[in-house]
Structure 1
Amino acid sequence: MIRKIIVLAVLILASKSFAKDILKDKFGNPVKLPENKLIVLNFMAYSCGHCMAEIPTIKKVLREPEFKNNFVVIAFAIDGKQNDFKDPEFPTYANHPENQVRFPILGTPTTYIITSNGKKLITIYGALTEENFRKYLKEALKKVQSAPGRI
Structure 2
Amino acid sequence: MLADTKKVGGFLLLAAALLLNGCKEEKAEVGAAAPALAAYDLQGNPASLEKWQGKHVYLNFWASNCGGCLVEMPVLEKLSKEFGDSIVVVGINTDKEEMNIQALLDERQVSFPNVRDQLAITQERYQVIGTPTAFLIDPQGKLTGQYIGMLHEPELKAIFEKSRQKG
Q: Same fold (TM over 0.5)?
A: yes
Gaps of at least 5 residues in structure 2 are 1-32
1:90 aligns with 2:107: no
Say whether the 8 Å CA contact 1:74–1:91 is kept in structure 2: yes
Contact 2:38 2:46 in 1 (8 A): yes
8 Å contact 2:131–2:148 — kept in the other structure?
Answer: yes
Q: Superposition pairs for residues 2-151 of structure 1, below 5 Å?
A: 22-25=36-39, 29-32=46-49, 33-64=51-82, 67-81=83-97, 84=102, 89-95=111-117, 96-142=119-165, 144-145=166-167
Structure with higher RCO (Cα < 8 A, 6+ apart): 2
Structure number with larger C-alpha Rg: 2
Following the alignment from structure 2 to structure 1, what is the Cα–Cα distance between the partners of residues 121 and 153? 30
Separation in structure 1 between the aligned mates of residue 52 and residue 37 of structure 2, nearest angstrom: 12
Q: Indicate how the Cα distance of structure 1 residues 49 and 74 shifts in structure 2: closer, same or farther if over 3 A, else same.
A: same
In structure 2, distance between residues paired with 1:92 and 1:55:
11
Q: How many residues align?
A: 124
Q: Quote the residue 2:27 is aligned against.
A: none
Secondary structure, in 3 states, of the residue corresponding to 2:52?
coil
**Which segments of structure 1 move beyond 3 Å, counting only runs of 4 or more?**
82-88
Shift of 1:38: 0.7
- Residues 54 and 140 in structure 2, CA contact (< 8 A), matched pair in contact too: no
* Structure 1 Cα separation of the partners of residues 93 and 59 of structure 2: 11
What is the root-mean-square deviation in Å for CA atoms of aligned residues? 2.9
